């Protein structure tokens, strides 16, 4: 396969995207700002693939081949040959717009620039480039190797040809693409985050304990995990950033973030990734 997939960011999502891309046979170049982040990412990928080897879903040789298809770099210019770039850096408009400007200048004019953003406007990201027709949202779900959905977001200028290429790529990655238009929170987070935020309000107001809130939603609504557990899994900083985007995007007070969520983020209790959120890990 001649196509090269560039992945920017080797955090929770970037490593998942790199892993499924390499597993589907693509050559991958994964970029982050520090070598240690890349090494941490590679070791997480190795562990994830090893679980598949242990369960006999992958041979040891195949695992080596998958790992061998992932190159890492701290230099963005090493993504110059990529046909697709999927950006999965920190959910921050300034960081992402600067990155899209750089990607636009260093990739070939035909390359598609996709963002894994949970909530930032694809139209806005596209407008920072000279190729808004080739800028699109590819919203993978966490954990990427497990979750089937890629929510594909069309910015106002995204072309049908770009959408078709991304849909085809998504299928090659073994995922299902479902599309929507650019709007704050898209579909997934516009529906999910207010539910999580409301669950945090019930905790904040002492309506119920964390166990009870999560248990009610699990047993009563058949959700695989409760909203507070899910928030810890997503990262509370990510949840807060998304609520802020909904709040600003719609200008509607119903999207205000719960003060308890703000406090936890201020305290550095960001969920699983920091060892403490609504639960302790
Ligand atoms: N965590 C989730 O459940 C989830 C789900 C869907 C989408 N997302 C979105 O995916 C994106 C990444 O989220 P995450 O949870 O993986 O974040 P993360 O904090 O785990 O990882 C982000 C990585 O990006 C790197 N980075 C920051 N600026 C960079 C730059 N300029 N160049 C290269 N690397 C840079 C950081 O060093 C870090 O390693 C965000 O836009 C987030 O909204 C997250």
DSSP 38-83: HHHHHHHHHHHHHHHHHTTSS-HHHHHHHHHTEEEES-GGGGTT-S
Q: What is the tens place of the pLDDT at every residue in 86-107? A: 999 998 899 999 999 999 999 9
The rounded distance, in Å, linking the Cα atoms of 169 and 163 is 10
CB-based contacts of 55, cutoff 8 Å, min separation 6: none
The rounded distance, in Å, linking the Cα atoms of 222 and 234 is 19
In the block, tokens 């080596």 appear at 64
Ligand 1 atom at shortest distance from the alpha carbon of 242: 43
Candidates 4, 63, 46; CA nearest to 29 is 4
CB-based contacts of 199, cutoff 8 Å, min separation 6: 213, 214, 217, 226, 227, 228, 231
For 73, list phi and psi in degrees, rounded to 5: -160, 155
Residues with CB under 6 A from ligand 1: 8-14, 31-33, 37, 88-91, 95, 99, 116-118, 139, 142, 234-235, 238
Given a cut of 60, is residue 268 above it in pLDDT?
yes
| Long-range contacts of 94-97, Cβ-Cβ distance < 8 Å, separation of 24 or more | 96/120, 96/125, 97/124, 97/125, 97/128
The rounded distance, in Å, linking the Cα atoms of 18 and 30 is 7
Residue nearest to atom 38 of ligand 1 (CA): 11
Q: Is 189 a catalytic residue?
A: yes
Q: Peptide bond before 181: cis, by omega within 30 degrees of 0?
A: no
Q: What is the tens place of the pLDDT at every residue in 127-166? A: 999 999 999 999 999 899 999 999 999 999 999 999 999 9
Q: Is 118 a catalytic residue?
A: yes
Residue percentage of the chain with pLDDT more than 70: 100
Q: Give the mean pLDDT of the chain.
A: 97
Q: Is 151 a catalytic residue?
A: yes
Ligand 1 atom at shortest distance from the alpha carbon of 115: 41
Polymer length in residues for the chain: 281
Mutate to test the pocket of ligand 1, among 17, 29, 77, 88 (most ligand atoms within 8 A of CB): 88
Q: Is 121 a catalytic residue?
A: no
Given a cut of 60, is residue 24 above it in pLDDT?
yes
The rounded distance, in Å, linking the Cα atoms of 153 and 175 is 15
Residue of 118, 119, 188, 197 marked active site: 118
Mutate to test the pocket of ligand 1, among 7, 10, 12 (most ligand atoms within 8 A of CB): 12
Mutate to test the pocket of ligand 1, among 8, 9, 103 (most ligand atoms within 8 A of CB): 9
Give the distance (Å) from ligand 1 centre to CA of residue 30: 12
Q: What is the tens place of the pLDDT at every residue in 161-185? A: 999 999 999 999 999 999 999 999 9
Radius of gyration of the CA atoms of the chain, in A = 19
* CB contact at 8 A, 63 and 88: no
């Amino acid at each position: 396969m001649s196509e090269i997939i560039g992945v920017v960011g080797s955090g929770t999502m970037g490593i998942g995207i790199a892993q499924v891309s390499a597993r589907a046979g693509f050559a991958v170049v994964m970029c982050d700002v520090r070598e240690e982040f890349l090494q941490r990412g590679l070791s997480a990928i190795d562990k994830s693939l090893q679980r598949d080897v242990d369960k006999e879903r992958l041979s040891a040789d195949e695992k080596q081949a998958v790992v061998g298809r992932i190159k890492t770099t701290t230099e963005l210019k090493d993504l110059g040959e990529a046909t697709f770039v999927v950006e999965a850096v920190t959910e921050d408009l300034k960081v992402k717009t600067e990155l899209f400007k750089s990607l636009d200048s260093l990739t070939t004019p035909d390359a598609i620039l996709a963002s894994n953003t949970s909530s930032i406007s694809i139209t806005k990201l596209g407008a920072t480039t000279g190729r808004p027709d080739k800028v699109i949202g590819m919203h993978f779900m966490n954990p990427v190797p497990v979750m089937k959905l890629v929510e594909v977001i069309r910015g106002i200028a995204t072309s049908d040809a770009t959408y078709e290429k991304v849909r085809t790529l998504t299928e090659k990655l073994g995922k299902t693409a479902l599309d929507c238009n650019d709007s704050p929170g898209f579909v997934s987070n516009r529906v999910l985050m207010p539910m999580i935020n409301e669950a945090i309000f019930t905790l904040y107001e002492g309506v119920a304990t964390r166990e009870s809130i999560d248990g009610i939603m699990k047993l009563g609504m058949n959700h695989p995990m409760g909203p507070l557990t899910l928030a810890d899994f997503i990262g509370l900083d990510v949840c807060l950033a998304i609520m802020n985007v909904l709040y600003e995007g719609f200008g509607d007070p119903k999207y205000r973030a719960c003060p308890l969520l703000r406090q936890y983020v201020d305290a550095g209790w960001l969920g699983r990734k920091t060892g403490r959120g609504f639960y302790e890990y």
